[in-house]
Amino acid sequence: MSTQPHVIEVSEATFQKEVIQRSHEVPVLVDFWAAWCGPCRMLTPVLEGLAKEGGGRWILAKVNTDQNQQLSARYGIRGIPNVKAFRDGAVVDEFVGALPRPRVQAFLDKILPNAQDAQLTQATALIDADDYVAARPLLEGILAAAPDHDGANLALARVELAEGHVERALAHLDAIPARGPLGDAAQQLRARAHFAGDSASSLDELKAKVSANPDDWEQRFALAQAAVPLGDYAVAAEQFLAILQRDPQWQEGAARQGMLDLLTIMGEEDPRSADYRKRMSWLLFA
């Protein structure tokens, strides 16, 4: 075991704390290895040497695949050595095999924070504070230098959507690879874009109209559309599902698409998602 402070052994019991949580502070490279693996022994001194030179800018976490088989299965380890880079709790890049030092250094250079990352962090904080005017030039500056910067495209899409520019937001989201690290976040924001725009009526007014005339499917759909941006997912789901129960193909599948977008926004972690998905499947395919 290495005695370096920036090289640690992790297990299934410590992975959440030492990798997932710590990666919100500094990048963590996870080296999935085994004692019998010859290429692993070749890569180890390269990784540990770079970790020492890094001086804490990133952490090397070593996972013995023989001793942590469930963890290895969770991350789809099929060949070793497999090195996965974690930032902000998620895998952002990886490589398999014993790469030479220059290629490992190039890999590190891609995932270590740089000036653009600092700008993105600043811009994201401004967006979270609803200061879209100040965030915009920072993000546009990043994209001027790196048009394919996924993080900047995602953040600028948030700005455009907040300011009502749906088509501009979608253009930035389309630039993000669906299978990349930010693919799921882009898909979720794209679903939110489908609900953008101010309703002509307030939520209470729409609820009153639906209560007065439950067979007014246009008003039910309008209520669902208005409820999603306000986070009232239960109201939206019940309206979409009611329309699907009446006619799964209503308005060329508008309620079906609305329900799919809502489920994307809610995510699988929402305990209601499984029930809504089951009810939707029953209405569409029973």
Confidence of residue 2 (pLDDT cuts 50, 70, 90): low
Catalytic residue (one of 10, 28, 30, 37): 37
Residues 227-231 have a mean pLDDT of 90
Tell me the two tokens of residue 60: 């090397």
Query: Active site includes 37?
Result: yes
Most confident of 111-120, 189-198, 242-251: 242-251
pTM of the model: 0.63
Residue 179: the pLDDT is 82
Catalytic residue among 30, 40, 159, 191: 40
DSSP notation for 236-257: HHHHHHHHHHH-TTHHHHHHHH
What domains sit in the chain, N to C, each tagged with a CATH number? 7-111 (3.40.30.10), 115-193 (1.25.40.10), 203-285 (1.25.40.10)
Helix (H) or strand (E) holding 210: helix 203-212
Instruction: Tell me the mean pLDDT in the region 85-100.
Output: 92
Q: Is 1's pLDDT higher than 70?
A: no
pLDDT given for residue 233 in this prediction: 95
pLDDT value at residue 77: 93
* Of the listed ranges 20-24, 102-106, 129-133, 197-201, the one predicted with least confidence: 197-201
Predicted pLDDT of residue 171? 95
* Predicted confidence (pLDDT) per residue in 159-183, tens digit: 999 998 999 999 999 999 988 778 8
202 as an active site residue: the answer is no
Furthest-apart CA atoms within the chain: distance in Å: 73
Residue 76 identity? G
Under a CB-based contact definition with an 8 Å cutoff, are residues 210 and 200 in contact?
Answer: no
